[in-house]
Structure formats: C-alpha cells, structure tokens
Amino acid sequence: MKKNILWMMEGFVMAAMSWSCNGGKNTTGAPATIMASESQTVKELPLPDVPPSITEPEERAAYAVRHFWDSLNPSDHTQSLDTALMEQTFANFISLLPYATEDARNEAVTAFADRCSADSDVYDLAAYISHHYLDDPNSPMRNEELYIPFLRRFASDPKLTEAKRERAAYRLEQAMKNRPGTKTADFRLLTREGKASTLFRELKDTTLVIFYDYDCEHCKETVARLEDPAAGVRYPVVAVEATEDKDGWDATKAGMPKEWTICFATDPLDGESYYFPALPSLYLLAGDGTVLVKDGAF
C-alpha cells in the first residue's frame, strides 16, 4: 500500500486516501507504448510549493492543483512514461482536486492535459490513467464528477484520434445524466406484490435505490451486506431489477429482503435515462427524486 498523501499547508490539513498502484508493472489495457518502471520504489512528481503569501486554504488548494504538473517533462520518457510514477502522481492529484473550487479544478485539468498533450504517447497514457482511476467501476477512487472535466477536454481535443474523442463524448453524455442536485428520471415499474407503480411513487423522504441484476454475484453480495443490521443502512430501500429479464426476477424476487420494496423496471433502463457502468448501482434520492448521491458506496 502506498504511503498516505498528507497535505499540510498553513491554515489547513488534508488527509487523502491511500492507494495501491501496480508496482511499476504495465496495467492490462494500457497503451502499448507505456514503459514499466525499473524501480521497485514508486516515484512521484514533487508537490508544488505554494507561496507563503497565499494564506487562504481555498486559494492554496487552487494554486496547488493548477501547478501540480509543472515539473512533468513530457519529452523525458523515463519520467513521463513511467506508469508507476504517473499513476501515483495522478492519485495524489485527484485526491487534492475536491478541496479546490470548480473553476480551479477545471483550470487544473486543462493544465494537466496541455502539458501531457505535448507528446502523443504521454497523452495516451494520461487519458488511460484518467479513465482507469476515475471511471473504472473497480477503482476505489472512481468519481464521475471529477471525471467530467477530463471528458470535456478529451471529447473536443483534436490531438486525440476521432475514435477517442467520440468515446469521450459518449461517456460525457452518460456522465451528465442524473447528476447530484438534479432530478433523476422517473420510470414505470412493477412491485413484488404485483402493483403497477413508478419510481417516484415508491420514494420516501430519503431513499436508497439499488439497481441490480438478479443473476449478478456482486449484486447478491451487496444485498446481503446491506441487509445485515451491522451495515447501518438507515434509509428505506427500493431495489430495482434493471435487466429486462422478468422471468428471472419473478423466480428470485421472494428471496430479496422482506423489508425492502422490490421492483422490476417495466420501462427499459437502456442508457436513454440511466447509465450503469456496472451493477449494482446505488443512488440516494430525496423524496422528490432529486439525486443526493449517484452510483455511490454505502
């Protein structure tokens, strides 16, 4: 496990999550031109020095993220194509981004992309790492809101191939659906008891909605964990079978937790209104359908 990132700037202390990178090995699916680190010890770019004249915590965070990649030399491939170094530095970078304002985050992403795009291989690595950390369903640092400014840049950047721009544009379109603070899409459903209803009709003041696949092992594990009183889930739960297999749902619905509202989506959830990179997908919704948490961990 890599060392915890501990940011100690005058006026505030930020302790970010620790992250285990790949130890210098090339990650499966990474661009072929990426070089593996020759060192057993993972390196990282030095943290930017924030001028002592900047004293406000928000301003210090803004300066740090804007200048985070200043020391990256894209033409030095022993540095810029070192997967371990780039991944550890990127993990540090995105751990700090939430402490900056939205404007500062956008400027920081622009600075990151501008520097990396000076070399096409480095830019390919940057795009890959961004996806791997912020969009991969298995990443503990997955964060769609942080990924959006990266997607905006990649979707419009002529330095990327048309295929890569189109993939980024598609993913950006999906990321913009049901963002926190907006009202989620309502849809028709059938309850376990056979009642025709809608998602909004089944919501309480604050409701945990689980989109699941009855035949998915990870979904079963998540249901069992959340059903356990030790999990401390304090919200009413609506579980929605999202795969359009009604026969399979009929055969398994009785085995779902008795205290939960168990439903089958009779309107297809096929990407028009929702996007599920993986199931289960957990949303926390207000009683009027406003998204409080999208695809979160509970």
**Three-state secondary structure readout of 39-100:** CCCCCCCCCCCCCCCCCCHHHHHHHHHHCCCCCCCCCCHHHHCEHHHHHHHHHHHHHHHHHC
Q: For residues 132-160, give the mean pLDDT.
A: 95
> Residue 270: pLDDT band by 50, 70, 90 thresholds?
confident
Answer yes or no: is pLDDT of 12 > 90. Answer: no
Beta partners for residue 285, in sequence order:
207, 291
What is the rounded distance in angstroms from the CA atom of residue 271 to the CA atom of residue 280?
A: 15
Give CA angle at 113 (58, 97), nearest 5°: 25
pLDDT at 41: 62
Is the pLDDT reported for residue 23 higher than 50? no
Domain ranges, ordered by start, for the chain: 6-175, 188-293
Give CA–CA dist 111/153, Å, rounded: 11
Identity of the amino acid at 258: K
Spell out the CATH class of 188-293.
alpha beta
97 residue type, one letter:
L
CA gap 88, 83 in Å, rounded: 8
Higher pLDDT, 115 or 3: 115
Closest CA to 274 of 237, 233, 240, 223: 240
pLDDT of amino acid 231: 82
Which pLDDT does position 296 carry in this prediction? 85
Q: Are 239 and 260 in contact (CB under 8 A)?
A: yes
Contact 278, 137 (CB under 8 A): yes
Distance CA 79, CA 237 (A): 48
Rounded mean pLDDT, 136-162: 95
What are the CA-CA distances from residue 95 to residues 13, 134, 143, 236 (Å)?
A: 13, 11, 11, 31
Q: What are phi and psi of 230, to 5 degrees?
A: -65, -20
Q: What is the pLDDT of residue 28?
A: 39
pLDDT tens-digit map of 205-221 = 999 999 999 999 999 99
- Across the range 24-39, mean pLDDT stands at 45
Beta carbons of 134 and 154 less than 8 angstroms apart: no
Burial (0-12, 13-18, 19+ Cβ within 10 Å), 145: middle
Which pTM does this prediction carry? 0.81
What integer is the mean pLDDT of 77-99? 96
Cα–Cα distance measured from residue 242 to residue 258, given in angstroms and rounded to the nearest whole number: 19
The mean per-residue pLDDT over the stretch 229-245 comes to: 92
- For 255, counting Cβ atoms within 10 Å of its Cβ (0-12 exposed, 13-18 middle, 19+ buried), the class is exposed
What whole-number distance in Å separates Cα of residue 133 and Cα of residue 135?
Answer: 6
The percent of residues in the chain predicted with pLDDT above 90, rounded, is 79
